[in-house]
Amino acid sequence: MNGSTRPKIPRRMLDGVLLLDKPLGLSSNDALIRAKKIYLAKKAGHTGTLDPLATGLLPLCFGEATKFSQDLLEADKTYEATMRLGVRTTTGDAEGEALQTRDVTCDEAAIHAAMAQFRGDIAQIPPMYSALKRDGKPLYEYARAGQTVEREARNVTIHALDLIACALPDVTFRVTCSKGTYVRTLAEDIGEMLGCGAHLVALRRTGVGALTLEHAVTLDALAEATPDTRDSWLQPVDALLSTFPAVHLDADATRRFAQGQRLKLSDIADAPAVADRVRVYALEDQRLLGVARAGEGVLAPDRLVVSAA
């Protein structure tokens, strides 16, 4: 055995959700790797990527919480963004090269009017610089090779779109949108409606579903904190499920649910008649058992947490 070989640092079984305030210039995966190393966690994953240009809320899941990360991928997102009018770029943001420069002749009233056209259900054509795949290859690979391929428009929903500040040529706005929305594309489309073009120069995610930046921490703070403080910053696994109705099971129903059995809704006091997803707890100790679907008179287990077995 080589005497210089370093002993492996033991990893911890850790369950919970960390609300990370991702820094500028770091990929979501790199941020995850750093946090996982700081916590010495055995298993971790994130809930959807933020571009290196973007900062803000990146929920990281540890242990059993990774089973429910998909639920946040489906959730609405809220961003604060700044677009610069008058310049279109190859990527739709500040990382790209300028494609076209035009004079900015609009005023704040025109910007309000343009934004009003993008609230509600809209169609977006995904940008070439995106990870969407065509024939098994990400679109950004075609773009880097100087190729443009046809993309189908996708329907997304802009729940809210409000002007925060206007210091032309820069315009800062807040948007709450459905999954699959490209804020870069939204900025470009608003710029085109204003007749001058635009690109994104800053993007900060402030909300994912019911989660917000209020309790988020930075990587620097994590690195400097004591282990006990770090663990105190972890949200419980069910922080990802707060928008689901909750049901509570007695001891017998808890045992059967943990074994994957379906239960009669009529036997559960607080069960909804129909729900796409519900979070399920043991009535005795309030521990999370997992998530289920309620319908056709039964509560059907969907995903269980190991501790419930």
Cα dihedral 206/208/213/219 (nearest 10):
-100
Task: Write the burial class of residue 193 (CB in 10 Å: 0-12 exposed, 13-18 middle, 19+ buried).
Answer: middle
The answer to whether 51 is a known catalytic residue is yes
* Residue 183 contacts residue 175 (beta carbons within 8 Å): yes
Query: Is there a cis peptide before residue 301, judged by omega within 30 degrees of 0?
Result: no
Q: Which long-range contacts (CB under 8 A, 24 or more apart) does 92-100 make?
A: 92/127, 92/129, 92/182, 92/184, 92/185, 92/187, 92/188, 92/199, 92/200, 93/51, 93/53, 93/184, 93/199, 93/200, 93/201, 93/203, 94/53, 94/199, 94/200, 94/201, 95/53, 96/129, 96/199, 100/197
Residue 245, SS3? coil
Nearest in space to 152 (alpha carbons), one of 133, 136, 175, 171 = 133
Query: Could you tell me the sign of the dihedral formed by the alpha carbons of 111, 113, 116, 117, in that order?
Result: negative
The total number of residues written for the chain in this structure: 309
Which residue is catalytic, options 15, 21, 30, 51?
A: 51
What are residue 174's DSSP bridge partners? 80, 162
* Residues forming the active site: 51
